[in-house]
């Protein structure tokens, strides 16, 4: 008895390959931000932190990307303090974020992301390729919090889960830390088809041109003065 072999159509095979590729990328996407869980005032909160429009580059628009949820409240209906899926709403009124790069610091207000309960952002433009930290501070669940999240120069590394309990401050205990987010990349590196100059390098070029212009102006004035004096003699 002759057995017929079934073949998979090329279109279906292509779709299957695309699906497998997407599934393979899901873990990388999930780890594009840092995730930490804390017990704050007796309740468990999950903070997911990273940057807008990653990977971020110098002089390009980005910002703090913060999402706060309560994993144990994911099944509860939305109310004044919690959105659907355990999202924590209203934190723009009690929390702020401080940008830290070396000795430079700047405090920004958090804005709620439209259509995404529990998501907050604060826009800024990085001007130097350096290590950034986002310090989230204020009050949550009637408890003062002061939490710092720092980028990873190597990019989105798959950091192993750290489930050790760490006392952050009174009433705040970290129970989970995983994932990472990348630091700003020099704009010149990603320029195409030609390297793109950063605002700082352009400013330096402008200063140099201005110096040469003033020098040329000074020489011209001196020459005119010399010619004028000779004509008077």
- Per residue in 111-156, pLDDT (tens digit) is 999 999 999 999 999 999 999 999 999 999 999 999 999 999 877 6
Sequence-ordered list of residues with C-beta below 8 angstroms from that of 221, at least 6 positions apart, any chain: none
The domain ranges of the chain are 31-189, 197-227
Angle CA(38)–CA(44)–CA(45) in degrees, nearest 5?
65
- C-alpha 35/C-alpha 149 separation (Å) is 9
- Per residue in 55-104, pLDDT (tens digit) is 899 999 999 999 999 997 765 555 555 556 799 999 999 999 999 999 99
Sequence-ordered list of residues with C-beta below 8 angstroms from that of 180, at least 6 positions apart, any chain: 31, 34, 151, 152, 155, 156, 157, 158, 159
Answer whether residue 39 shows pLDDT above 50: yes
Q: Are strands 34-40 and 43-51 parallel, antiparallel or unpaired?
A: antiparallel
- Per residue in 171-180, pLDDT (tens digit) is 999 999 999 9
Superfamily per CATH, domain 31-189: Immunoglobulins (2.60.40.10)
């Amino acid at each position: 008895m002759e057995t017929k072999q079934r073949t998979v159509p090329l279109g279906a095979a292509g779709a299957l390959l695309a699906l497998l590729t997407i599934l393979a990328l899901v873990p990388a996407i999930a780890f594009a931000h840092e995730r930490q869980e804390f017990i704050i005032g007796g309740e468990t909160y999950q903070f997911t932190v990273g940057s807008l429009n990653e990977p971020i580059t110098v002089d390009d628009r980005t910002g703090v990307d913060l999402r706060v949820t309560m994993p144990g409240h994911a099944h509860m209906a939305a109310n004044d303090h919690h959105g659907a899926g355990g999202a924590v709403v209203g934190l723009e009124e009690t929390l702020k974020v401080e940008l830290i790069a070396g000795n430079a610091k700047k405090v920004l207000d958090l804005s709620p992301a439209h259509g995404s309960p529990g998501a907050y952002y604060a826009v800024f433009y990085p001007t130097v390729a350096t290590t950034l930290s986002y310090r989230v501070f204020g009050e949550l669940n009637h408890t003062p919090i002061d939490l710092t999240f720092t980028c990873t120069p190597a990019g989105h590394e798959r950091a192993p889960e750290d489930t050790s309990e760490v006392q952050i401050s009174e009433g705040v205990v970290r129970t989970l830390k995983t994932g990472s987010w990348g630091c700003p990349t020099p704009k010149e590196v990603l320029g195409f088809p030609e390297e793109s100059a950063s605002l700082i390098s352009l400013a330096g070029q402008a200063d140099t041109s201005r110096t040469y212009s003033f020098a040329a102006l000074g020489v011209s004035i001196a020459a005119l003065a010399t010619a004028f004096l000779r004509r008077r003699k």
